Structure 1
Amino acid sequence: MILLTASSDFFQYANKLLLSDHATGFQIKEFVRKNAANALSVANMVMGMASILSSLNGHHHAACWLVLIGYLLDLADGAVARQLNACSALGAKLDDFADFTTFGIATSLLLRTSDLLDNVLCMCYVLSVFVRLCFFSSGIPFMYRGLPCIYSSAILASASLLSGGNMTVLRVIAVAMILFMISQNFYPHDKVLESQTWKKVVYAGGVAMVFCSSFPPACVYYLLWSISYILFPTSLWSCKL
């Protein structure tokens, strides 16, 4: 009788433990689902902060590539959030903070020199990104108002790498990108990872190019990708296609 009671107690305890482990496993999976996109946004912000430190320490090449890695992460976080049905107010705020860090402050430092006018240009660039993010919503479904700042950053970073940091080239491009960002032109949502297969292949190519960062063609790849969004926004990059 004592053995039967002990056996019953053991099985009840084992059953409770199994249910507890199952509940814990479910909670962990749910936590991962809800925060996968947030983790990508935080990773983007870390890339931005690392790029800032690289610029301040004179590591120009690394600073540019960290911005381009942030570009890939930013394109992915929204797709992951929608795929996992994990969109949230916190996620939107994290995305904005990450964008401002990487595509605002970090990118502006690529223009920084000891010249006063270059420093003014840096501040103007940061302010234009700030304005762009504040007026993110166009009020029209699937459309942005003003050029998304990730593309202006990718163009500046790529041009900086290809030109060896030629400030004349970067000043001209920076002014053009500022005008595009604060313009009233409409640009389509660029759901690269939620659209046609060829767009996903383009994204995969961008990931592969990170491992070829010492070769100029890798920079050309990002430059052409970003410029194509400006030149053919609707015909190529509309999420409705």
Structure 2
Amino acid sequence: MILMMLPPSSVLQNTRKLFLSEQLGRTQITEFARKNAANALSLANLVMGLSSILCSLNRHHQCACWLLIVGFLLDLADGAVARQLNACSPLGAKLDDYADFTSFGLATGLLLHADGILDGLLVIVYVLAVFTRLCFFSSGIPFMYRGLPCPYASSILACTSLLTGGHLVVLRTVAVIMILFMVDQGFYPHDKVLESQLWKKIVFAIGVLMMFCSPSILACMYYLIWSISYILFPGFLWSCKEDL
């Protein structure tokens, strides 16, 4: 009724303003989504880590392990999404570090079942190794890490726990080996699974499919072989050709 009482020129102007405001709103939403897509993945990784901690505290150890493996996939994806969308930021880097420390440090340490003083000491040393790895990962060489990236150590521990039924001796032995790899300051390539050769993208895609569509033992073996291959053949398999 009000629009009918206005002159045609006023109606046209109001319609144009409404259209422009809606268009501006969509643009702002799209830009917000672009800038925060990678942050959402890092936040999801953080949630996986916190959920894994709760599962470990309530003795749901298998669920805790699978949540860490999901976090492993999310961590591989968030950096690729940030670079693809040109949305890298200091906030995103900090959020990624907090998520990594929670999932691959605290939550993974709880898989070791700290039931005594020595066991608790091992958990503390493992968490400190992850902390050190996150603080001093830069090697000074482009596209190279110094020390084994903690997501791979976490993946190996989670898969070992699932495959051995949480056998403590085996778990703690593997944990000690992972600590040595993380603090030895050896060079490891920035794998860029989703930004490199096609076969690496296929490895990632198969990992996602196996998470939801295959028997748990096969999925565990797949992630274990994937993570160990990164340790044994870092340069031969996992260096990006364009980075060499």
- Give TM-score scaled by structure 2 length: 0.95
User: 1:133 matched to which residue of 2?
Assistant: 134
For 2:151 and 2:121, locate their aligned partners in 1 and report how far apart those are by CA, in whole Å. 21
For 1:208 and 1:66, locate their aligned partners in 2 and report how far apart those are by CA, in whole Å. 15
User: 1:66 matched to which residue of 2?
Assistant: 67
For 2:113 and 2:214, locate their aligned partners in 1 and report how far apart those are by CA, in whole Å. 22
What CA RMSD, in Å, does the superposition of the two structures yield over aligned residues? 1.5
User: 1:201 matched to which residue of 2?
Assistant: 202
For 1:136 and 1:215, locate their aligned partners in 2 and report how far apart those are by CA, in whole Å. 32
Aligned residues: 240
- Structure 2: 5+ residue runs without aligned partners? none
Give SS of 1:64's match: helix
* Counterpart contact for 1:48–1:106, Cα < 8 Å: yes
Give SS of 2:171's match: helix
User: 1:239 matched to which residue of 2?
Assistant: 240
Greater shift, 209-218 or 44-53, is seen at 209-218
User: 1:19 matched to which residue of 2?
Assistant: 20
Give SS of 2:87's match: coil
Give SS of 1:187's match: strand
Pair 213,154 (structure 1): closer, same or farther in 2 beyond 3 Å = farther
Give SS of 1:211's match: helix
User: 2:143 matched to which residue of 1?
Assistant: 142
For 1:23 and 1:5, locate their aligned partners in 2 and report how far apart those are by CA, in whole Å. 25
- Give TM-score scaled by structure 1 length: 0.97
Q: CA deviation at 1:7?
A: 1.4
For 1:169 and 1:225, locate their aligned partners in 2 and report how far apart those are by CA, in whole Å. 19
User: 2:39 matched to which residue of 1?
Assistant: 38
Q: Output one character per residue of 1:78-98: Cα deviation in whole Å (capped at 9) or x when no partner.
A: 000000000000000000000
For 2:104 and 2:199, locate their aligned partners in 1 and report how far apart those are by CA, in whole Å. 26
User: 2:106 matched to which residue of 1?
Assistant: 105
* Counterpart contact for 2:162–2:220, Cα < 8 Å: yes
For 2:38 and 2:230, locate their aligned partners in 1 and report how far apart those are by CA, in whole Å. 24
Give SS of 2:188's match: strand
